Structure 1
């Protein structure tokens, strides 16, 4: 009887370890693991479409290029964060740099309301004015904005559906500050953002409900 009891106790301990160990290991997800927030991913991984993947902004390569690809992600000219900003309990990286501008620069197109009382907070940085939703205007991440050097210049944006549009740069999508009244309470932008008006989205034939879509851009 004694040996049977010992055997049962040993089996119970093994079962408990089998059940509890996976729960501990998934507290922080690794490559392609499920996630909801940036804090769910281990190391330098970020949450993209519900899965932990390499962060293209810092060139991490823990997943071999993200999504199982054998090719490493672009290093983005070694652009590294300059710190973090905590906003409503969430930590956001701060950047003063952006990927190098080419004839086909990869970017994320976001939607912004440049009118008074809109998402942008105050008037546009370049001309001190508000802009109607019918105007084709954009804000660029801090590195691309380049200390106002691209103010009021035209850029060409191309969507994956083959459509393209020109738009005027009127503002900065601040990548190193945010979460205050000046930025309408919004966190810092990522460093690869082209923040476009509704007119830009409409001209590209894009669904504004998506909020963010991949595009490429260049100087017009």
Structure 2
């Protein structure tokens, strides 16, 4: 009987320990993480931080600089991307960037519409090949950081809209995030650092109305 009571007491203590450890682990998983903290989803990160590759970091769409860090966005460096100055055009001030958010398997971006033909709103010929392109081609210009000095010229990317449709497009140009408001840039201000500037063909493939102007999408290398 004494042996039975000892065994029962041991099992009871073991059960309590297991429950406590389980609860503690659950609290650790659901705890709010700060910059650089581990995460599994958006709820794991505090404030306006988001979960990128298992770590809490600044949200590139919101433009927070809580975690700091700079450079990097083109080929997968730091997820931080700080503003590198301003440019004033017609009395309005615009931010300038030399970087873009980190490229992932599902990179959040703003899709804009561009006319790559001569005389179109794209200004001069495409940076990649010095040519103008038909709007019937599935082509895009990427923000300076993502353009990455031309390293993505001629490469295909996959773009997915919120309606579930996706398409591929070829990178032919840079959406300049550093310069603007001159003839070369069709007197447009600098691009934001999270822009995928697509032709009419890209918008049509995604089932989107170009009159909307800007829509949320995700993209990745195809």
Q: Structure 1 CA distance, aligned partners of 2:106 and 2:61?
A: 17
Q: Is it true that 1:137 corresponds to 2:139 in the alignment?
A: yes
Q: Structure 1 CA distance, aligned partners of 2:172 and 2:195?
A: 14
Cα deviation, residue 78, structure 1: 1.9
Cα deviation, residue 83, structure 1: 0.3
Q: Structure 2 CA distance, aligned partners of 1:96 and 1:129?
A: 24
Cα deviation, residue 58, structure 1: 3.3
Q: Structure 1 CA distance, aligned partners of 2:198 and 2:185?
A: 16
Q: Within 5 A, what are the aligned runs for 1:137-176?
A: 137-176=139-178
Q: Structure 2 CA distance, aligned partners of 1:55 and 1:90?
A: 22
Q: Within 5 A, what are the aligned runs for 1:23-102?
A: 56=61, 58-59=63-64, 77-102=79-104
Alignment TM-score, normalising by the size of structure 1: 0.67
Moved over 4 A (4+): none
- Superposed CA deviations along residues 172-198 of structure 1, whole A, max 9, x for unmatched, are 000010000110100000000000000
| Secondary structure in structure 2 of the residue aligned to 1:182 | helix
Unaligned ranges ≥5, structure 1: 1-53, 62-75
Alignment TM-score, normalising by the size of structure 2: 0.67
In 2, are the aligned partners of 1:113 and 1:119 still within 8 Å (CA)? yes
Q: Structure 1 CA distance, aligned partners of 2:93 and 2:191?
A: 12
In 1, are the aligned partners of 2:65 and 2:82 still within 8 Å (CA)? no
Q: Structure 2 CA distance, aligned partners of 1:58 and 1:84?
A: 15
- Superposed CA deviations along residues 147-173 of structure 1, whole A, max 9, x for unmatched, are 000001000000000100000000000
Q: Structure 2 CA distance, aligned partners of 1:201 and 1:60?
A: 32
Cα deviation, residue 118, structure 1: 0.3
Q: Structure 2 CA distance, aligned partners of 1:129 and 1:55?
A: 31
Task: Tell me the matched-pair count.
Answer: 153
